[in-house]
Amino acid sequence: MAQLMWRRELLTQLTKVPAKVKKKLAELHRKFEEDSTQASLHLKPVQGARDPKVRSARVGDDYRAIIIAPEQGDTYLLVHVDHHDEAYQWCQSKQFEAHGALGTLQIFDVEEIARAVAIPEESSAAASAAVDTEGFSAAYPLDSLDDEALFTAGIPKALIPAVRAVRTDDAFEQLAEYLPPEAAQVLYGVVAGMSLDQALEEMLGALETAPVKPAGPGDFSHLAQAANLDLVLVAGEEHLKEILSEDIEAWRIFLHPYQRKLVQWDVKGPMKIHGAAGTGKTVALMHRAVWLAKQTADQDRVLLTTYTTNLSVTIKALLERLAPKAHQGIEVTNLHQLARTIALRCGWRGKVAEDADLEALWEQVLSQESDLAAEFNQDFIRSEFAEIVDPMGIDSEDAYLTTVRSGRPRIGRAQRKLLWRLFARMQREQAKRNLLTFEGVVHQARLAVEQGQFPRYRHVLVDELQDFGLEALRLIRALSPIDEGLANPLCVVGDGHQRLYNRTPVPVGRAGIEVRGRSRRLKINYRTSEQIRRWAQGLLAGVEVDDLDGGSADTTGDRSVFRGPDPQVLTVDSPAAAGGAVVDWVRHLLDCGFGTHEICITPTEGAVINALETAGIPTLELLPRQRDPGQDEPGVRYGTKKRIKGLEFRAVVLLYRDTDAEDARERFANYVAATRARELLLVLRT
Ligand SMILES: Nc1ncnc2c1ncn2[C@@H]1O[C@H](COP(=O)(O)OP(=O)(O)OP(=O)(O)O)[C@@H](O)[C@H]1O
């Protein structure tokens, strides 16, 4: 039986073609599955096409589908649909080849590249290759790769001379636009200083299986197993219907090969995925949850937990779309909800302390122990409790004396002993009133699970791990079957650049979650333009960012899949001036066709919101525990930087105070805020 693989870009084209054409495409697909002889399918060679494998099929009076017929095997590729003339024009000078080293499909146009960048004569390229491989000149990082290495990196043979001619970053950036995307990614890694092997592993995620190599450039039979960025094998009628439906988003069906490998990585112990904002971590985690749920017995439970409520609400809705059936087997919640449920089910009957409760207790404790308290700054006492004692579940002097307090001001043993008296008193006062902080509830839940009062899950998956404190890590460890030796017990995902709540990085290893050898980093940004990604990354220049397990996060080779305008940075001298600038900008965006729901302002600033309302532009506050209603409810969104975490918008206004640069926490928050923007970012400095 023949197979027909579909190219990702068809999805965007499908939104523009009439329903009749989509129906014809579905018929064509079915015919392939039934009988692929070219006579029955009426595939016609395209006159004058550079690549002899190009065929066209009629899908409506004036519409043609472009199909690539294999030279070996029985896998065909549906690569384009358009009006007759445009479709023929599109495929005229392109080549379609299965790459001999990577095993992926590559589409390239030598003529187009020659028009855009100068390609040297074969002979001079060969001469320069000979010089470089003998090590005489290594002026540009790519010089270290000879022709064979460039081929191994995924460059089609016909494009090797063009790559060899590159001598500067600008020339490389220009050429990279035209290279097959996976090859461009590998070369970006090399240009950033990686060895070829490293770049192949880091950028394409070679985990353990080598790609299946095609018998020749016209053999597409192994493409389904290759690290293709943009081909999908349609699996059955339902899948086809889904692809042809209006609202299919690319993330639901096209995973980056690295994401795909992580989704289906069968591991013996806990695993970790990290990566900067927008690199598709949540998408990979959701697909993994579905993959696990589909192979789990009915009685076994799968847990997916986040730190913030808003992200868990968003994930729940996305999972329903991703897997209408399998999502029912996945429990989605956030850490505090989870901990509270466990604690309540296990008999805890207390109350979670509000900020006001804690404030009143601190005042009491500090006045009762005024001599002791006078030895320290009061803010220091409270923050030491909130950031160290409470989240780490410290309940004895010994534990406090020996705890690691990374990121906190240094204090000696004698000072710790004095401080402990205050903390112990605070804990006693809480216990008397049956009050627990959120961290305290997490601690109770952890104890209950460890004592066997609450059943474990078969698979546990965690997002926003950077905000989990030590007790929270211990809780998720206890909830997963790590100690039972079962496969895929726990998958944790996070990003040290986005730590907003838990100030002190806690390596997962400290909670007994051993991920060595099972940790991978995603590098390709799908959300944000390259310009916004770089600007946001610049906000954290000089800040040490951790990899969630005691190492540092390496952003070498990080890239966005698309480019856009530079962020606009304006200085304003008052909130009223900021309001005026925002109104002008939003009006301009609305004129360009943006919906109000696609624009977001952060943090909340009354003068700006009033200015919009006064100008007749509706606004909508992003609320806790609620999903963004999307286009159903118009209004320019606004909310705190914490609230918009986990969301994304076409355009974002970031109200930036220059003093933010002095506070590491604000720098992280600004990074999170800026990386919510997909296309446009306006930064208003005050
Ligand atoms: N393979 C993919 N194809 C297309 N789009 C993708 C893919 N993977 C992720 N995306 C899109 O990229 C955006 C970011 O993805 P996701 O939210 O998973 O990233 P993240 O790493 O969890 O981000 P953050 O840490 O900033 O919250 C989303 O719009 C998502 O739909």
User: In this predicted structure, what is the pLDDT of residue 107?
Assistant: 94
User: In this predicted structure, what is the pLDDT of residue 229?
Assistant: 64
User: In this predicted structure, what is the pLDDT of residue 359?
Assistant: 92
Phi-psi region of 146 (alpha: psi -120 to 50; beta: other; left: phi over 0): beta
**Poorest-confidence range of 202-206, 416-420, 429-433?**
202-206
Pocket mutation for ligand 1, best pick of 466, 526, 560, 652 (most atoms within 8 Å of C-beta): 526
Ligand 1 in contact with 282 (CB < 6 A)?
yes
Asked whether the predicted pLDDT for residue 550 surpasses 50, the reply is: yes
- Determine phi and psi for 79, rounding to 5 degrees: -110, -20
User: In this predicted structure, what is the pLDDT of residue 307?
Assistant: 95
Binding-site residues for ATP, in ranges, read 275-282
Structure tokens at 364: 């009491």
Beta carbons within 10 angstroms of residue 483's beta carbon: 11
Pocket mutation for ligand 1, best pick of 262, 283, 523, 641 (most atoms within 8 Å of C-beta): 283
**Poorest-confidence range of 126-130, 183-187, 333-337, 371-375?**
126-130
Question: Nearest CA to 467 among 384, 387, 552?
Answer: 387
pLDDT 10s digits, 556-571: 888 898 889 999 999 9
Binding-site residues, in ranges, read 275-282
Structure tokens at 188: 């970006």
What is the H or E stretch that residue 63 is in? strand 63-68
Ligand 1 in contact with 495 (CB < 6 A)?
yes
Ligand 1 in contact with 250 (CB < 6 A)?
yes
Pocket mutation for ligand 1, best pick of 185, 255, 527 (most atoms within 8 Å of C-beta): 527
Cα(229) to centroid(ligand 1), Å: 14
Percent over 70 (pLDDT), the chain: 94
User: Which spans in 451-502 are helix H?
Assistant: 470-479
Compute the average pLDDT of residues 593-617.
Answer: 96
How far apart are the C-alpha atoms of 328 and 330, rounded to whole Å? Answer: 5
The residue whose CA is least distant from atom 16 of ligand 1 is 280
* Confidence band of 274 (pLDDT split at 50, 70, 90): very high
Give the strand order in the sheet containing 649-656: 568-571, 677-685, 649-656, 599-602, 636-638, 619-621
Compute the average pLDDT of residues 658-662.
Answer: 86
Compute the average pLDDT of residues 539-549.
Answer: 91
Q: Which atom of ligand 1 is nearest to the CA of 648?
A: 29
Q: Which of 291-305, 384-398, 472-486, 649-663 has the highest mean pLDDT?
A: 472-486
Sign of CA dihedral 73, 75, 80, 81: positive
Compute the average pLDDT of residues 573-583.
Answer: 95
Asked whether the predicted pLDDT for residue 480 surpasses 50, the reply is: yes
What is the H or E stretch that residue 431 is in? helix 413-432
User: In this predicted structure, what is the pLDDT of residue 40?
Assistant: 67
User: In this predicted structure, what is the pLDDT of residue 628?
Assistant: 87
Question: Nearest CA to 195 among 522, 519, 559, 556?
Answer: 556
Do the Cβ atoms of 557 and 203 come closer than 8 Å? yes
Q: What is the ipTM of this complex?
A: 0.99
Compute the average pLDDT of residues 327-347.
Answer: 95
Cα(262) to centroid(ligand 1), Å: 14
Cα(130) to centroid(ligand 1), Å: 42
Compute the mean pLDDT over every residue in the chain, rounded to the nearest whole number: 89
